[in-house]
């Protein structure tokens, strides 16, 4: 907001300074060629003077200061054999400064129903559409600026078409005192105080004549339409002389009626509209077709000067309604000819006949099959040269007495051909790392070959569908494979078709291995059980068909870091974690890995606490002289569960004893041993594993 206010202050300061200078002599009024344009022209006995303002500020000068017009007569004489130019006395021809007239004067000189005058008055004297609101000074400034520009544009368009409006708006003046056959210089100046040099002026030279002639209008042309006549004339030629036009019509070429009471202008609605760019036009509706009317136009320029009427032309509305479409009912093709049959349900009295046409494509080009029109009663024609090995497209053209045409829908027919093309051979494929598929095979060069269709399926024995709805003429195909689907393989074969759309046997089916960028779905924990010395986890593995491993991870530090417990195959759905500390919270998560080494996100975590042990496991395990001994941490009445195995993770129950020792035979050495204490129905955690070396 701070910078907005600073900018507003600068803008308003500039505007205020500009208006201040305007009131004190207009020392800073910009280039007049940009801001006020001045023109003069003799029309009949008087000289019409016009000026236009390039922006609202310049028109503000016209309104507040006014304009004066001065005239000098220019003559020449011969002195000492040379022509000398003499500029006569400078005469002001207006009695008082030329400014826009007051609202009262407008009302006194224009009819209340004159909408053009009302629009001009609104542009000059109407209240501003936007009032400045507190806090919105900058926004309102630009809105008012646009409003003033729009009003000035509308006012000057009206002034260009209506000289009286130009005069009352302070944008024009008529010199009725000019004499014929004189050379005058007219000077337009901003009114300034006496003895002060004007800040702006512009001059124009006018040669008056006694035999004034109106400007000529260029020739007129016409398009004859359904109950309408479109008149048109060259835009470039007219734009240099006229800015609006009156159109007149006559039934007999003598009595003329004006068709438009306001000057007509034909704008360009689109830069790409060729007709609008080249011609101005006007469309007149007529009561009936084929009744001739005479037309002429009159040009009007910015001075209100009207041209002589153009040379009249005669035009009328014509029948442009096409007849009802015929319909082809049957085409019978043999090896040498084709019989076309059709029906027509329109008014036979309007029809002058039919033409039959043939093409090798739905979109043409179409060839007419006979030179003369077929009589209206004919409903069949024989084509003696149908196209072999190609589809033949036929259509029938109904023509009415006015020359309007209606085409039937195309009817396609091929010669009977039941022999399919050869099976495509040597199909091969390659797939880039980015998944870009390239297919190539042996080209079919037979005469009636039409193209190839590429079929694919996600399942080898499933349904195959075309990759594209169009035929491929070349024995190659390229496509970017969709790597976002779960199908890792595509199965593809090629079918050739001939001009009769007979399909060949399909090529050998090839398997396309797609690049796999899609990670497997997440595994999900389904159950758990906490035992005295281990935790059992159950899960449902990833639903992805290409699952290879389920990685089980555990955190001992509340999820800050995880260590892998095991990498399990897709068939394993449970795991016992025995490496536990008493009364410890563990976080368990899983990650799935597929056969392309894509890994899933981390599964939702299980938070589990191990049992708090009430009795401690045995300690001090020792093997000597064939006997394993240990220390009982508890008092008497304790039993001991012995476990052994080839590894620390494969321990199995060996025996239950009542004393802290156990005899180990030689064949039981070379294994890990661990022990639990049992007392009062409670079981301690497993002791630290102890390895007994293999006895010799």
**Domain closes at, from 466, 487, 513:** 513
Question: Contact, 580 vs 685, CB < 8 A?
Answer: yes
In this structure, is residue 518 part of a structural domain? no
- Cross-sheet strand order for the sheet of 244-250: 257-258, 244-250, 293-300, 313-315
Residues 171 and 126 in one domain: yes
In this structure, is residue 276 part of a structural domain? yes
3-state secondary structure of 257: strand
Look at residue 133 in the predicted model and tell me its pLDDT. 57
Report in angstroms the alpha-carbon separations of 287 from 73, 220, 293, 433, 463: 57, 22, 11, 73, 65
In this structure, is residue 24 part of a structural domain? yes
Residue 452 CB contacts under 8 Å (≥ 6 apart), including other chains = 424, 444, 471, 472, 473, 475, 477, 494, 495, 496, 497
Question: Contact, 48 vs 38, CB < 8 A?
Answer: no
Residues of the chain with pLDDT under 70: 1-34, 128-140, 198-199, 272, 483-484, 486, 612-614
Residues 18 and 81 in one domain: yes
Report in angstroms the alpha-carbon separations of 219 from 234, 292, 294, 295, 299: 8, 18, 13, 11, 12
Look at residue 390 in the predicted model and tell me its pLDDT. 74
pTM score, whole prediction? 0.50
Residue 298 CB-density burial (10 A; 0-12 exposed, 13-18 middle, 19+ buried): buried
Residues 623 and 605 in one domain: no
Residues 299 and 444 in one domain: no
Look at residue 252 in the predicted model and tell me its pLDDT. 94
Question: Contact, 616 vs 635, CB < 8 A?
Answer: no
**Domain closes at, from 462, 484, 513:** 513
Measure CA 646 to chain center. Answer: 72
Residues 10 and 71 in one domain: yes
Q: Of the candidates 571, 569, 585, which has an alpha carbon nearest to the alpha carbon of residue 535?
A: 585
- Whole-angstrom Cα distance, residue 366 to residue 429? 41
The domain in which residue 288 lies consists of: 221-315
Residues 170 and 26 in one domain: yes
In this structure, is residue 422 part of a structural domain? no
Residue 557 CB contacts under 8 Å (≥ 6 apart), including other chains = none
**Domain closes at, from 609, 636, 660:** 609
Q: How many CA atoms lie within 13 A of 160 on its CB side?
A: 20
Residue 8 CB contacts under 8 Å (≥ 6 apart), including other chains = 137, 138, 141
In this structure, is residue 214 part of a structural domain? no
Residue 573 CB-density burial (10 A; 0-12 exposed, 13-18 middle, 19+ buried): middle
In this structure, is residue 159 part of a structural domain? yes
Look at residue 136 in the predicted model and tell me its pLDDT. 58
Question: Contact, 444 vs 424, CB < 8 A?
Answer: yes
- Cross-sheet strand order for the sheet of 476-480: 428-431, 436-440, 476-480
- Whole-angstrom Cα distance, residue 396 to residue 400? 13
Two structure tokens written together for 435:
């998944």
Number of domains in the chain: 6
Q: How many CA atoms lie within 13 A of 415 on its CB side?
A: 19
Residues 506 and 604 in one domain: no
Residues 465 and 571 in one domain: no
- Whole-angstrom Cα distance, residue 668 to residue 694? 8
Residues 236 and 334 in one domain: no
Look at residue 25 in the predicted model and tell me its pLDDT. 32
C-alpha angle 562/568/573, rounded to 5°? Answer: 100
Q: CATH number for the domain including 475?
A: 2.60.40.10
Beta bridge partners of 489: 513
In this structure, is residue 135 part of a structural domain? yes
Residues 410 and 445 in one domain: no
- Whole-angstrom Cα distance, residue 552 to residue 575? 9
Residues 290 and 237 in one domain: yes
In this structure, is residue 272 part of a structural domain? yes
- Whole-angstrom Cα distance, residue 169 to residue 105? 11
Look at residue 16 in the predicted model and tell me its pLDDT. 34
- Whole-angstrom Cα distance, residue 98 to residue 67? 5
Q: Of the candidates 206, 160, 120, which has an alpha carbon nearest to the alpha carbon of residue 300?
A: 160
Residues 533 and 631 in one domain: no
């Amino acid at each position: 907001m701070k910078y907005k206010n600073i900018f507003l202050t600068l803008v308003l300061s500039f505007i205020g300074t500009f208006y201040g200078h305007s009131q004190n002599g207009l020392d800073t009024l910009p280039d007049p060629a940009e801001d006020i344009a001045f023109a003069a022209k003799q029309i009949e006995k008087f000289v019409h003077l016009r000026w236009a303002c390039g922006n609202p500020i310049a028109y503000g000068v016209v309104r507040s200061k006014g304009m004066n017009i001065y005239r000098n007569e220019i003559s020449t004489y011969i002195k000492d054999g040379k022509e000398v130019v003499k500029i006569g006395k400078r005469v002001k021809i207006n009695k008082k400064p030329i400014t826009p007239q007051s609202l009262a004067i407008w009302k006194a000189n224009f009819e209340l129903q004159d909408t053009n005058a009302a629009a001009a008055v609104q542009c000059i004297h109407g209240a501003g559409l936007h009032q400045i609101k507190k806090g919105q000074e900058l926004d309102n400034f630009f809105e008012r600026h646009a409003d003033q520009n729009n009003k000035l544009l509308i006012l000057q368009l009206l002034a260009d078409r209506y000289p009286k409006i130009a005069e009352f708006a302070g944008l024009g003046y008529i010199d009725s005192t000019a004499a014929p056959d004189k050379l005058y210089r007219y000077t337009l100046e901003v009114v300034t105080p006496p003895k002060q040099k004007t800040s702006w002026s512009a001059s124009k030279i006018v040669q008056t004549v006694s035999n004034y002639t109106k400007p000529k209008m260029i020739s007129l042309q016409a398009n004859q339409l359904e109950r309408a006549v479109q008149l048109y004339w060259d835009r470039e030629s007219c734009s240099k002389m006229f800015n609006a036009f009156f159109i007149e019509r006559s039934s007999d070429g003598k009595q003329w009626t004006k068709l438009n009471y306001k000057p007509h202008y034909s704008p360009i609605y689109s830069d790409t509209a060729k007709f609008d760019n080249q011609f101005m036009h006007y469309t007149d509706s007529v009561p009936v077709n084929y009744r001739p009317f005479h037309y002429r136009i009159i040009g009007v320029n910015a001075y209100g000067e009207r041209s002589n009427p153009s040379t009249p032309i005669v035009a009328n509305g014509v029948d442009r309604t096409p007849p009802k479409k015929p319909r082809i009912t049957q085409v019978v093709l043999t090896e040498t000819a084709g019989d076309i049959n059709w029906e027509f349900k329109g008014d036979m009295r309007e029809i002058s006949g039919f033409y039959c046409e043939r093409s090798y494509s739905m979109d043409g080009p179409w060839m007419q099959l006979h030179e003369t029109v077929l009589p209206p009663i004919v409903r069949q024609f024989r084509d003696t040269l149908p196209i072999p090995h190609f589809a033949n497209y036929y259509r029938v053209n109904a023509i009415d007495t006015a020359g309007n045409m209606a085409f039937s829908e195309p009817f396609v027919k091929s010669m009977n051909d039941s022999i399919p093309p050869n099976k495509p051979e040597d199909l091969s494929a390659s797939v880039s790392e980015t998944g870009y598929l390239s297919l190539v095979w042996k080209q079919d060069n037979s005469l009636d070959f039409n193209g190839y269709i590429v079929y694919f399926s996600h399942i080898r024995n499933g349904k195959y569908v075309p990759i594209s709805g169009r035929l491929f003429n070349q024995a190659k195909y390229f496509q970017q494979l969709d790597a976002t689907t779960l199908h890792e393989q595509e199965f593809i074969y090629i079918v050739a078709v001939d001009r009769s759309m007979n399909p060949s046997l399909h090529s050998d089916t090839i398997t396309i291995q797609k690049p796999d960028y899609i990670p497997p779905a997440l595994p999900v924990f389904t159950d758990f059980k906490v035992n005295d010395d281990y935790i059992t986890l159950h899960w449902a593995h990833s639903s992805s068909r290409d699952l290879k491993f389920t990685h089980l991870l555990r955190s001992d530090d509340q999820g800050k870091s995880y260590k892998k417990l095991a990498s399990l195959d897709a068939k394993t759905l449970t795991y016992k974690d025995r490496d536990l500390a008493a009364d410890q919270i563990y976080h368990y998560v899983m990650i799935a890995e597929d056969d392309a080494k894509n890994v899933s996100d981390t599964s939702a975590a299980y938070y589990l606490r191990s049992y708090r042990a009430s009795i401690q496991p045995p300690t001090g395990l020792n093997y000597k002289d064939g006997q394993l001994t240990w220390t009982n941490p508890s008092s008497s009445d304790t039993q001991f569960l012995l476990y052994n195995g080839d590894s620390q993770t494969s321990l199995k129950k060996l025996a239950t004893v009542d004393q802290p020792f156990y005899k180990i035979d030689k064949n039981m050495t070379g294994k890990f041993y661990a022990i639990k204490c049992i007392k009062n129905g409670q079981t301690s955690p497993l002791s630290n594993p102890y390895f007994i070396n293999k006895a010799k």
